[in-house]
Amino acid sequence: MAECWDDPLRFVRIAYPWGEPGELVDEPGPDEHQAEFLRALGAEVRRRDFDGRAPVMPVLMAETSGHGVGKTVLGAWLVNWIMSTRPHSTGTVTAGTYQQLESRTWSAIQRWTRLCITAEWFDVRASGVFCKISPADWKVIPQTCKEENAQAFAGQHALRSTSWYLFDEASEVPDKIWDVAYGGMTDGEPMMFAWGQPIRNTGRFYEACFGRESSRWNHRRVDSRTSRFTNKPLIDQWIGDYGEDSDFVRVRVLGLPPSASELQYIDGERVKEASRRTVEPLVDEPVVAGFDVSGGGAAWNVIRFRRGPDARSIPPVRISGQDGRDRAVLIAKCAEIMREGAGGRPVKAMFVDSAFGSPIVERLHTLGFHNVHEVSFGGKSPDHTKENMRAHMWARMKDWLLVGGIPEDRDGLSLQLTRPGYHINRSNRLVLEAKVDMVKRGEASPDDADALALTFAQPVGPDRKQEEPLRSGWTFGDRSGGGWMV
C-alpha cells in the first residue's frame, strides 16, 4: 500500500479481485477513462511531493460526463486508495441529493471497501468507514449537502496527512458547502474531487470545469458514447428524440453544461423558496386532490392535496406499488377521502392519472362520486405551446411555485420537482421529460410531483357552501354571500 502512495491506478489494479470467482468474475478492471483519471491524479500527487510536514497546494480534480460512465465507482476506489495509503487521513463524502448519497455513492463505497484487499483494516458502517486502530482521526464519513448542514464540512484538518472531500453529482451541491469545504484545505496534503452531469451553467462546479476557476482544477469531460459501461441503444434513442444540439443531450450524453441556466424544468431556487414561504389560503378556497396511480413495483400511489396556495397543510396519502396492486384498496381510500374530506374540509375535485387509474375513476363514478375526473398525461394540452397535458400541468405548477407553499422535504416532493428535464420541440412546444426516461437514467419515479401537478389539471372555483370547515354533525343550509366565484 505504501508503494501505491502516488500511484492510484496501480492500487486499483491490485486491490480488488478482478476476474476472480465472485462479484468481479467478469470485470477486467477500470476502463480507459477511469484509468486516465487515476494516472492524472498520480501525477498531481508526485508534483506536490508532500513530505508529511510542510503543507502543499490542494489536489483539485473534477470531471463532467454524461450518464453512466462509472463516476460513482471511481469515487469508491479513490476512497479506498486514500484510506489505505494515507494513515490518519480524514474525508467527507457528499452528493447532490440524500437519495444519491445513500443509495448510490455511499452504497458503492461500502461495497468496494468490502472487496478491497485492505478490508480488514476498517469498520464499514452506515455512518462512516473507520480505521480500526485509530477511528477518531482515520476515517471518511457521509454528509448531506443541505445548506443548513454546511458547518458539518468545517473544521476538517489533517496536519500530517490528507484532509479530503468527494462531491458526487457536484452540480447540485450548494455553493455554500463548497465554500466551507475549501476551509479544510489549508494544511497537510488536501484533496478535493468533484464530478457529475453539469446540469447548471452556474455555480462552483461549473466554475471549476468551465469557468473562472477552471485553470486551478485538473478537469476533464467524458462523452457517454465512449464509455464501455453505457447503454448505447438508449443513448441513440435520446439523440433521436431530443436532437444532438439539445440541452438534454449536451448534459446527459456529452457532459457539457446546458445552454439555458439549468437542465431541470423547475429550478431548485424556486422550489426552495416555496418550501420556506408562509401561505394563507382564502377562506373559500376549495381542497383539490391529485392522484398519481402506480403501475406497481417501486413506484408509489400518491394522493396530494392543495388548497389554493397551500400544498403543505394536508399530508399526502402514499400507498406502495405492491399494496396498490389490489385496486379495491385504492378505490376504498379514494371513496373515504371523497366522503369524509381532507384536512377537515370537503374535497371539491379529485384528478386521477388515467394510465392506471381509469378503472378506479369508473368505479368511483358508480359509487356516486362524480367530482372525480380522469386525466391523461399524454392527452392534448389546452395550451398550444405545450406538447401534452402533463407538460401543461407542470407549467401551471411551475408558475404557482412562485406564490405557493410546499413541505420542507428536500429529498421528497421538493427533490422530485427539480428532476425532470425538458426541451422545446420542432413545433416550438414544451416537452417535459417522461417518467420512463427518468427511470432509465437512474432517477426515481416522480410520483409525488406528478400527484401535485394533477391538482392543476383544471381550474376549480370556490364553493360558497364550503366556507366553513367540516364539523361533527354539521349540515349545510341555505346561506347568502359566499365566494367570488360560484
pLDDT digits 0-9 by tens, 175-211: 999 999 998 889 999 999 999 999 888 889 999 999 8
Distance of CA 407 to the CA centre of its chain: 16
- 290 φ/ψ angles, rounded to the nearest 5 degrees: -120, 130
Q: What pLDDT does residue 473 have?
A: 39
Sequence-separated (6 or more) residues with CB below 8 Å from residue 120: none
Q: What pLDDT does residue 304 have?
A: 97
Determine the length of the chain.
Answer: 486
pLDDT in tens, the chain (486 residues): 999 999 999 999 999 999 999 999 999 999 999 999 999 999 999 999 999 999 999 999 999 999 999 999 999 999 999 999 999 999 999 998 888 899 899 999 999 999 999 999 999 999 999 999 999 999 999 999 988 888 889 888 899 999 999 999 999 999 999 999 998 889 999 999 999 999 888 889 999 999 889 989 999 999 999 999 999 999 999 898 888 888 889 999 999 988 766 678 898 889 989 999 999 999 999 999 999 998 877 788 999 999 999 999 999 999 998 888 899 999 999 999 999 999 999 999 999 999 999 999 999 999 999 999 999 999 999 999 999 999 999 999 999 999 999 998 755 798 889 888 888 888 889 999 888 888 777 677 899 999 999 999 999 998 665 444 444 433 333 333 333 333
Q: What pLDDT does residue 137 have?
A: 94
Task: List, as own/partner pairs, every contact residues 430-438 make where C-beta atoms lie below 8 angstroms and the sequence separation is at least 24, other chains included.
Answer: 430/385, 430/386, 430/387, 430/391, 430/395, 431/387, 431/388, 431/391, 432/265, 432/387, 432/390, 432/391, 432/394, 433/248, 433/265, 437/238
Q: What pLDDT does residue 478 have?
A: 38
Residue 484 and residue 462 in contact, taking contact as beta carbons nearer than 8 Å: yes
Residue 306 and residue 448 in contact, taking contact as beta carbons nearer than 8 Å: no
In order of start, what are the domains of the chain with their CATH numbers? 2-230 (3.40.50.300), 268-466 (3.30.420.240)
Residue 330 and residue 301 in contact, taking contact as beta carbons nearer than 8 Å: yes
Q: What pLDDT does residue 23 have?
A: 94
Q: What pLDDT does residue 474 have?
A: 38
pLDDT digits (tens, 9 = 90+) for 430-482: 999 888 888 777 677 899 999 999 999 999 998 665 444 444 433 333 333 33
Q: What pLDDT does residue 438 have?
A: 81
Neighbours of 366 (CB within 10 A): 9
Residue type, 303: I
Q: What pLDDT does residue 465 have?
A: 56
C-alpha dihedral sign at 270, 271, 277, 278: positive
pTM assigned to the model: 0.71
